[in-house]
Amino acid sequence: MARPQAGPPPGVGDGDRAERAQDGTPLYVHLPFCAAKCHYCDFFSVAAEGHDRGALIDAILREARARAPWHPHTVYLGGGTPSLLSIPELECLLDGLHACTGFRDSAVEVSAECNPESLDEAKARALLGLGVGRLSIGFQSLSDEVLQLFGRVHSVADSFRAFDAARAAGAANVNVDLIFAVPGQNLEGWTADLNRVLDLGPDHLSAYNLTFEEETLFRRWLEEGRLAKQPEELELALFHATRDVAAERGYHAYEISNFALTGRHCSHNVNYWRNGPYVGLGPSAVSKVGWRRSGNIKGVASYRARIDEGQSARVWDEELGPRERLAETWWLGLRLAEGLAPEDARARSGCAAEQDASLDVAEALLRDGLLERDAGRFRLSPRGLPLGDFVARKFLQAGHAGSRVS
């Protein structure tokens, strides 16, 4: 398939460009199709069967021509399961994105989420040839029984085959996703599984504590008594074991749940945690441009209909007040090992020093031993790391007095 020549989006004049994000803004593309819906997942996703995937790709590209930034710094294909697309569909999507953004000439990182059942060497090689440089593979568990409980459609053997396929295709930056604190798990089993994955030599590891989100099967089963959360003491032990094992194997804990070899952190996600701007394309995708956030309509058919009718896919917009923006900047920034300085937080949120209620919160948390300070930067202390959500609530409560605009 011939690749379109990259260039400024057709039909976009100076007046229209004023409505687009600044050149270089990171770009997220939401591809909602999955082989099956995972029981713990609260992201917008649908089973692919019965949907016209090509028509959705066409709609996403039309939205991209209207809204995507030129020369994005990073690109992230999420979902859903981007690797579920066929090679011709991936060619259409990524060649089309390059034609209207020039991402292959600008992006320092292009990531694609992959599930083991839909990633083989040919697919991995195609993704790499189309400009993707970072593959994130959802292992989730090294227990076939747990994978069945999760509603996953792959096996443990499939996960290892997918990783080998990525390396055989030449992928030099591979992430593995795992979930801990699952029913029936113990500390010894998790440590063994973690070491088994790290023996593969992934460049990056994402390890998340299982959560029971609203409107998921897992949440309903929890409320019905069909599932039970692991005791907090075990969750804490699993959390610390993850950090200890990763550190022993040379993986830096640059964020609460993310670990990387030197230089292999996920730049796209770091931008989120630094409360930077981004543009989201596709059904349910969220954007943050300037001080304004917006979100696209959920639903494949409804998204396509709005694009087909020449309408914006965005169905909500909000602008937080400066104190609320500042609180969110602290909440996100403290997830990073680098932490943040108060003056940086104010600059990122556009909050004047006289409006800053967060510094008092930080000082109180410092006294309580949940934060530490070094060279003017605050970060979560070892005691505060597993209590990140509690710390975040303190900042969000302080910023709640800020007003929303529109």
Residue 7 corresponds to which amino acid?
Answer: G
At 173, the pLDDT band (50, 70, 90 cuts) reads very high
Q: What is the pLDDT of residue 5?
A: 39
Over range 269-295, report the average pLDDT.
Answer: 97
User: Residue length, the chain?
Assistant: 406
Instruction: Count CB atoms within 10 A of the CB of residue 48.
Output: 19
Contact partners, residue 20, CB within 8 Å, separation at least 6: 12, 67, 68, 69, 70
For residue 9, what is the enclosing H or E element?
none
Higher local confidence (pLDDT), 131 or 18: 131
pLDDT at 19: 60
Q: For 33-89, how does the pLDDT look when each residue is reduced to its tens digit (9 = 90+)?
A: 999 999 999 999 999 988 999 999 999 999 999 999 999 999 999 999 999 999 999
Mean pLDDT of 212-241: 95
Lowest mean pLDDT segment, chosen from 47-51, 135-139, 156-160, 214-218: 47-51
Q: What is the mean pLDDT of residues 372-396?
A: 95
Dump pLDDT digits (tens) for 242-279.
Answer: 999 999 999 999 999 999 999 999 999 999 999 999 99
| Helix or strand run (H / E) with residue 76 | strand 74-79
Res. 13: pLDDT tops 60: no
